[in-house]
Homo-oligomer: A and B are copies of this chain.
């Protein structure tokens, strides 16, 4: 199962869901415990969990009559890498720009070296 980073971002792009992820980072929880954090119906929370699950961010497994919700590391890792790659690329451009500017400066100093 490969999860698209865009789906991960979309899943985290809702305050209820990012709060759920934040909460689950500390420890697993039941659906009821998560629902208690919000002023919306527990059915709505269950639906949010469905979104998170489809994005691979959480898994649910029955435990007696409750269901334990667990945060999964993989999509977090994948999207982390996606962001790091873009950030690094951006930073490299800045340093290349520095290089270019430094070169321009030195060219100005030695005036008309090539043309």
Chain A residues within CB distance 8 Å of chain B:
5-7, 9-15, 18, 21-22, 25-27, 71, 73, 76-77, 79-80, 83-87, 89-91, 93
A84 / chain B contacts, CB cutoff of 8 Å: 80
Q: Is the CB of B89 within 8 A of A83?
A: no
Residues of B within 8 A of A89 (CB): 25-26
Measured between beta carbons, the chain B residues less than 8 angstroms from A21 are 86
User: Considering only CB atoms, which chain B residue lies closest to A12 in the complex?
Assistant: B9
Contacts known (A83-B76, A87-B77); A9 close to B13, Cβ less than 8 A: yes
The main secondary structure of chain A at its interface with chain B is: helix
Knowing A6-B12, A12-B13, the reply to whether A76 touches B71 (Cβ < 8 A) is: no
